[in-house]
Amino acid sequence: MRPFRRTRTHLSTLALSLSLALGAAVLPAAAQAAPDAGQLPPPANAAEARLRELYEAEWLWRQQEFARERIDGRWQAADRLPSVTAGSWARRAAYWKQVLDALDAIPVDQLGPEERINAAVFRASVEANLNGATWRTYEAPFNSDTFFWGGLNPRQPYQSEADWRRFIGRLRDVGRYFDEHIANMEAGLARGWSVPRSSVEGRDKTIEPYTLTSDDNPFLATFANMPVTIKEPLRSQLQAEGRKVVLEHVVPAYSKLLSFMREEYLPRTRTTTAAADLPNGREFYRTQIKEYVTRDMTAKEIHELGLAEVERISREMREVMKRAGFEGSFEEFLQFLRTDPQFYAKTPNELLYYTAWIAKKVDGELKHVIGTLPRYRFTILPVPDDIAPIYTSGRGGLDSCLFNTYDLPQRPLYNLPALVVHECAPGHSFQAALALEAPARPDFRQQTYFSGYGEGWGLYTEWLGTLMGIYQTPYDDFGRLTFEMWRAARLVIDTGLHEYGWTRQQAIDYLSAHTALAPLDIVNEIDRYIAWPGQALAYYIGYKTIRDLRSEAEQALGEAFDQRPFHDTILNLGSVPLPVLEEEVRAFISRQKAAATTD
C-alpha cells in the first residue's frame, strides 16, 4: 500500500508539500539519514564533478525551500513551514528548468556506473517536481486521504527540547501556511482545477478535531503527553508555550480553513471524476503515467495488461476457493468472507496483537530471504482516530506501521498476513531502515522515492510470503490473492476512470466483483484513484518488473540462484526508476553467472 504516503514515483508537487514541507512520514523512505558528502569517493573526472556539484547544490536548495534542516544526520522539519505561494512555485519551476538544462549538458557516457545511476535518479526526481509545478498541481493540494492540514502532529512524542521548540515554531506558522493554500485553491477553482467532489466529500470532518479548544484537540493532547524525559521545570514551560500557540494560532487557522472548505471550496469543486476533464487533462494524465510508472507506457497498454492479469489471478482465486472446501459460487464465497465472524477481530487490540504476531513470525524467516538485515526497528500503531474512517487499512514507514482498527467488521484478519509483509517487513519499514543504513550515496538518493520501485517491492514481498510460510490457511492465501488482484485491477480502474470515462460506481462495482476487500476499503480506494490520477498504476507494474527479473535470474543461474543476494541487490540500490532497476539487476545476473562459470 501507499506509505504514510504517501504517494508518490519521486515526490510530486503534492507530495513535496505533504512530506518535505510538513516532515510527516508520508512516504515509506521519506525520513532517512543522509551520509556526509565526505564519505563519497571523489569524482573520477570533470563530468562527474559537474554532476555532483549540480545535484548537491539542488538538494541543499530544495531543503531550504521546503523548510528542512540537517539534524543529527537527517533532514527534518525546521521551525517553520515552507512558502507555498504561486510565486514560490513559479520560482521553483524556473530553477528546476535551469537544473535540467545543466544536466543535459553533462556527457553521460563519461560517468562511472554509480554516477550514471545518480544522474538517472536525479533527472527523474527533478522532472517530476518541475512537472507538478508546471501543471500547478499545488492548486489542488490534497486528495481523498492525504491533506496539507494533516501530518503536522507527530505520531510519537518528541524526545528533546530542540524538537519540541521546532514543533512549536511550525505551529506558530500554520495560519500563514493555510492562507497560502487557500489562495492556491481559490486560483484552482477559478480555472477549473480542483479535486473531484465525489472523492473528498466528508474530508472536512478531519479538520474538526483541531478546531477544539478542549483537551480533545490532538495538538493539546500531544503537549499533555510530553514524555518525562523532558524534565521539570522545562516540561511545564514547553507545555504552557505549546498550549498558548495552539489556542492562539492553530485553532483559529483550522477554524478558518474549516469554514472555507465547507462554505467555499467543497460546494464549488468539480463534479466530474476523470483527469481528462481537467484543463488539458488528457495530456496531464499522460504525464502522470510517465511520472509514476517511470516507463513510456500508454493508457491502452496498461489497461490491457490489467485485464490479462485480472483474468489470470481470477483463476488462481477460484483454485484457492476449492482448496478451502467452499462449494458455492465465487460471489457467495466473497460474501462468506465478508460476513463470517470467524474472520474478524472483536477488539482493536486483538487486531493489533495479530499483526504483531505475524511481524514476529516474519522476523524468524528473514535470514533465509535477505542477506543484509537492518538494525533499525519499527513499532506497530493504530491509525489515528481523526483520519481512520477515510484511511487505508495499513501503511508502513521507517518508524512505525499503522493498522486501521476503525469499523472492525470491515477489517478481515485473512488480509493481515499480506498487509504486514507489505507494510512492515520485509516491505516498507524494512526497506526504509535499509535505506537509512545504506552505503554512502548522495543525499538526494537517500530521500528520493519512486512508487514503482517502492510499491513494487512491497507487493513483491506479499508474494515472497508464500515462500516464507506466512500464509497458513487457504483464507490467508486468498487474502494475498485479493491484494494482488486489487493491484492488478487498479491498472484497469485507473485507466478506466481517467482515460475511458468510467463512472465512480462502475469502478466500485469492478473492484467489488473481483476482490474480497471490505466495502469501506473499496470505496476509499476508488476515491483515492479518482483524486490521485496515475499513482495507483505504479504498484503492479513495479511488482511485475521484479517478478520478471527474478524469473530471468532463476533461468540464467539455475541451481546457483540465491534469493538473498538477489534481494540485496534490489534493496541496496535504493529507490530508482524501473529501467535503472532492470539494468542493475541484469548486471548482477551477469556477474553471478560469470562467477558460477568460473567456479
pLDDT the model gives residue 258 = 97
Number of helices (H), then strands (E), belonging to the chain: the values are 25, 5
Does the structure show a pLDDT above 80 at 444? yes
pLDDT band at 558 (very low <50, low <70, confident <90, very high): very high
CA distance 419 to 394: 7
Asked which of 63-77, 300-314, 322-336, 550-564 is least confident by mean pLDDT, the reply is 63-77
Asked which of 10-14, 170-174, 536-540 is least confident by mean pLDDT, the reply is 10-14
DSSP string, 115-134: HHHHHHHHHHHHHHHHHHHH
Determine contact, residues 374/436, Cβ cutoff 8 Å: yes
In the predicted model, what is the mean pLDDT of residues 521-532? 91
Strand order in the sheet with 400-403: 379-382, 400-403, 394-396
pLDDT the model gives residue 571 = 94
Residue 61 CB neighbours (<10 A): 14
pLDDT band at 446 (very low <50, low <70, confident <90, very high): confident
Q: Tell me which residue of 163, 149, 177 sits closest to 79, measured CA to CA.
A: 163
Does the structure show a pLDDT above 80 at 533? yes
Does the structure show a pLDDT above 80 at 28? no
Does the structure show a pLDDT above 60 at 31? no
pLDDT the model gives residue 179 = 98
Determine contact, residues 53/444, Cβ cutoff 8 Å: no
CA-CA-CA-CA torsion sign (405, 253, 17, 242): negative
CA distance 556 to 597: 11
Residue 513 CB neighbours (<10 A): 12
Determine contact, residues 408/352, Cβ cutoff 8 Å: no
In our burial notation (b when 16+ CB lie closer than 10 A, e otherwise), range 496-506 reads bbbbeebebee
pLDDT band at 599 (very low <50, low <70, confident <90, very high): low
Does the structure show a pLDDT above 90 at 14? no
CA distance 355 to 343: 14
pLDDT the model gives residue 16 = 41
pLDDT the model gives residue 515 = 87
pLDDT the model gives residue 520 = 86
The packing angle between helices 538-557 and 563-573, to 10°, is: 140
Question: What is the percent of the chain where pLDDT is above 90?
Answer: 81
pLDDT band at 103 (very low <50, low <70, confident <90, very high): very high
Q: What is the pLDDT of residues 382-418, one digit of tens each?
A: 998 888 887 888 999 889 999 999 999 999 999 999 9
Question: What is the percent of the chain where pLDDT is above 70?
Answer: 93
Place of cell 492556491: 184
pLDDT the model gives residue 392 = 84
Mean pLDDT of the chain, nearest integer: 91
For residue 77, give the 3-state DSSP assignment. Answer: strand
pLDDT the model gives residue 133 = 97
Q: What is the pLDDT of residues 454-510, one digit of tens each?
A: 999 999 999 999 999 999 999 999 999 999 999 999 999 999 999 999 999 999 999
Determine contact, residues 80/68, Cβ cutoff 8 Å: no
Query: Which has more pLDDT, 121 or 387?
Result: 121
| Amino acid letter for position 441 | R
In the predicted model, what is the mean pLDDT of residues 534-550? 96
Q: What is the pLDDT of residues 156-174, one digit of tens each?
A: 889 999 999 999 999 999 9
Does the structure show a pLDDT above 70 at 73? yes
Does the structure show a pLDDT above 70 at 32? no
Q: Tell me which residue of 545, 546, 548, 528 sits closest to 536, measured CA to CA.
A: 528
User: What cell numbers appear for 554 in the block?
Assistant: 532463476
CA distances 241 to 71, 169, 248, 263, Å, are 23, 10, 11, 32
Determine contact, residues 426/491, Cβ cutoff 8 Å: no
CA distances 27 to 83, 284, 418, 429, 494, Å, are 21, 23, 19, 10, 21
Which helix (H) or strand (E) segment is 467 a member of?
none
Which helix (H) or strand (E) segment is 522 a member of?
helix 519-531
- Alpha helix positions (H), 380-427: 416-423
pTM, 2 dp: 0.86
